[in-house]
Structure 1
Amino acid sequence: MKGRFSSIRYVFIRSHLYGVFLTVVTLLAILLSVYVLFHPEWLSVQSIFLFIILYIILSVFISLFIGFQTSGSLKSRLDAMSVLITQYANGNYESYIQSIDDDEFSRITEELNELGKKLQSQVKSLQRMADEKTDFAKSAHKAAVIEERQRIARDLHDAVSQQLFALTMMSEAAGKQLAKNPELAKSQMQDVTQAAMQAQTEMRALLLHLRPVHLSGDSLAKGIHKLIAELKQKSQMKFDVVIPEDLVLSEAIEEHVFRIIQESLSNILRHAHATEVNLEITTRTKELFIHIRDNGKGFDISNDSERKTSYGLKTMRERSEELGGTFTIRSNKDEGTYIDIRIPYKD
């Protein structure tokens, strides 16, 4: 019951009744003042209180009626936003509210609709990333299995299988010498024992190689400098690179950022015909900022015919969004290309 009377409708009605109360107090004070100061014949104490009582009764009924009527639309819009938020909480990001009026509630509604679109985009990105990881894991597993099988087969042929063949030959020879020359047979059996121990050692080494090996990769700064060093050997471009050497990022962010920069430099090398490239990575308040600029020929972003770089830009945008960041590109003909990427970042 308490929660019901604290709803927006009853809050709206209470505000009307509060206005009625202030109005009654003000009118009563004015009428009593006039009566005390001037004593007009048409004004008496009975008429004052009769007027006030009638005013209170009419005002209360009018306040209740107007309060219910005017708060109905407001309550409906708030209920719709509440339902929309509940839908988002339950994972239904395709829900939206159609707004017609141009007021504060409409702006909040539009922002909620935009939030739903962004959440839906994030879910698609996460699902796509999960699918890509699954496919990559399957492909990597298959490739690793095939490569490992080939290596095991080679090692088995080169070492263990030859030793087992030698064991077979020595065992047969020792068996033939048991009756004729026991001493020779004993010596040959000792050779068999040594060969068996050697084969066992080879097998243990082979099993040791089958264990997973974890290698620590280069840092983001070192990896980018290596990449740019390779590009300098393939082109005459001048690079201006600013990357903090003490930059510490998670493995996932480092990988995505490196792939984004790699794709960007690849696009510049293949399509931009640039002579200068600026790359800057800085950390700002709760964000990682990446700026890439070239002085190449540029292109018209809105032109669908320029599809040579569209796939690369799409990949870069998707990788940025997968990290919860934003991807902005500016380019014009003969004015170069500017790329700004902002990714949420915690020290």
Structure 2
Amino acid sequence: MLKRLNSIRFSYIRSHLYGTFLTTVILLSFLLSIYVLFEPLWLTAEGIFLFIATYIVLGLLLSLYVGFKSSGDLKERLDYFSVLITQFANGNYQSRVYFNEDDEIARIGSELNELGNKMQNQVKSLQRMADEKADFAKSAHKAAVIEERQRLARDLHDSVSQQLFGVTMMAEAALKQFDKNPTMAKSQLEDVAASALQAQTEMRALLLHLRPVHLSGDPLSLGLKKLVEELKQKSAINFKLDFDDSIKLQETTEEHVFRIIQESLSNILRHAEASEVGLRITSRSNELFIHIADNGKGFDVGQDSTRKTSYGLKTMKERSEELGGTFTIRSIRGEGTYIDIRIPCN
């Protein structure tokens, strides 16, 4: 109620009521002064107060009516500004306002329209920069692959090869001691088993670096379905997917969206303890909408800034903003987590 009383419309009404009050005081002072100084026969005290009372009633009614009517146009135009700014905040930079009047408010509207044009061009620039960054990343990836292969070769030689060589030597020593000293042979075979297990662990760790984590040329929907199928084999989570297969995105945008969703699902698997995950991707009005929800344990978004998930959330937010989009997360302890992402797609 107090918020409504502070609106533009009630400000207009208050200003008219204030004018009526000042006019009433001036008229009353003027008539009383004439009555006291000159005492004319046609002017009586009853007549003065009857006139003032009538004026107050009419003034109140007119103030309410005129204030309400005169503020209507201004309120409507300000509402247009509010809607436009909300559209800009949601990433819809194509919205515009137009006024027939040639005044200060119309000039502000033109300036907001120009701001929308600049923001829309900025989004295109960001997406172009993302494409250029992707091309550069591909070149860097080739060099990184060569370097990684060399590193893996060194690691294989320094760790797994040496361990396998040690296993061979210990196995041969155990065979020689098998008949002469079974106790020592048993101890050496236990060392062989331990070394073999260590070598197996090292090999799994090295193979993990070779696992692909990108679309590899697949469309976004197909890549995500493959990712979800792989996650189903490793967890008991029930995934609910809702994809619009007709969505066409630039290669860089698809790669970013895939990595955002991949990071989100990784966080859910590691931290959420969820039994159900929903993933919906739709497109309308030149915008891509992504909604990810889980029924896990949730967390306090404001207080849990030091959680292990905070780095992943920061990465997702940065990737969304690189594409000119917005990233919103809502989470309540015991009620799950919800992520909404809006990305312009021209």
Give the TM-score normalised by the residue count of structure 1.
0.43
Query: Which structure has more RCO (C-alpha within 8 Å, separation ≥ 6)?
Result: 2
TM-score under structure 2 length normalisation: 0.43
